[in-house]
C-alpha cells in the first residue's frame, strides 16, 4: 500500500510540474517571466525565479534520475528487503541527497556552460 501511495504522490508532483495549467488555470503562464521581472525584489531573487520557471521540467527530471540512481544502489545492496530499505528514513534521506547532488551538478553545468563545452 505504501508503494501505491508513493507512486500516486509522484504522479501528482510530475503532473503539477509538467502540466500546471490543468491544476492552476487562473495563472497566466505565458507572461510569467515578465511578471517575475516586474517584481520589487533584488535581481538575484529574480534570476533564481526565472531559472526555476525556465528549467522546471529539467530540474524535475534531473532530481528523479538522481533519486533513481540512489534507489538502484539501495536495491542492489539490500536484496532481502529492498523496498523497506528505500522507504526507511535513512533510505529517504539517501534518495534526497542523491537528488540534491544531481540538481547541484545540473546547476554547475548550467552556470559554467560556456567554459565546459567549447
d(CA 52, CA 40): 18
Residue 19 inside a domain? The answer is no
Task: Report yes or no on 63 lying in a domain.
Answer: yes
Give me the domain span that covers residue 104. Answer: 27-116
Q: What is the pLDDT of residue 23?
A: 64
Task: Give a yes or no: residue 1 inside a domain.
Answer: no
The pLDDT of residue 81: 87
> What is the per-residue pLDDT across 18-56, written as a single tens digit (0 to 9) for each?
666 666 676 676 777 888 888 888 888 888 888 888 887
Q: What is the pLDDT of residues 54-100, one digit of tens each?
A: 887 788 889 989 999 999 999 899 888 888 888 899 999 999 999 99
Structure-block grid coordinates of residue 105: 551538478
Rounded Cα distance between 62 and 107, Å, is: 10
Total number of domains in the chain: 1
Which of 63, 54, 59 lies closest to 33 in space, CA to CA? Answer: 54
CB 94 within 8 A of CB 72: no
Q: How confident is the model at residue 105 (pLDDT cuts 50, 70, 90)?
A: very high
- CB-based contacts of 3, cutoff 8 Å, min separation 6: 83
From the centroid of its chain, how far is CA 75?
21
Is 44 in contact with 76 (CB distance < 8 Å)?
no
Amino acid at each position: 500500500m505504501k508503494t501505491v501511495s508513493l507512486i500516486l504522490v509522484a504522479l501528482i508532483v510530475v503532473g503539477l510540474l509538467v502540466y500546471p495549467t490543468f491544476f492552476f488555470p487562473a495563472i497566466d503562464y505565458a507572461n510569467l517571466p515578465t511578471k517575475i521581472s516586474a517584481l520589487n525584489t533584488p535581481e538575484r531573487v529574480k534570476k533564481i525565479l526565472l531559472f526555476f520557471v525556465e528549467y522546471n521540467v529539467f530540474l524535475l527530471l534531473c532530481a528523479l534520475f538522481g533519486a533513481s540512481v540512489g534507489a538502484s544502489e539501495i536495491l542492489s545492496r539490500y536484496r532481502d528487503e529492498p523496498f523497506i530499505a528505500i522507504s526507511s528514513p535513512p533510505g529517504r534521506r539517501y534518495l534526497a541527497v542523491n537528488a540534491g547532488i544531481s540538481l547541484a551538478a545540473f546547476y554547475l553545468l548550467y552556470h559554467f556552460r560556456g567554459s565546459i563545452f567549447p
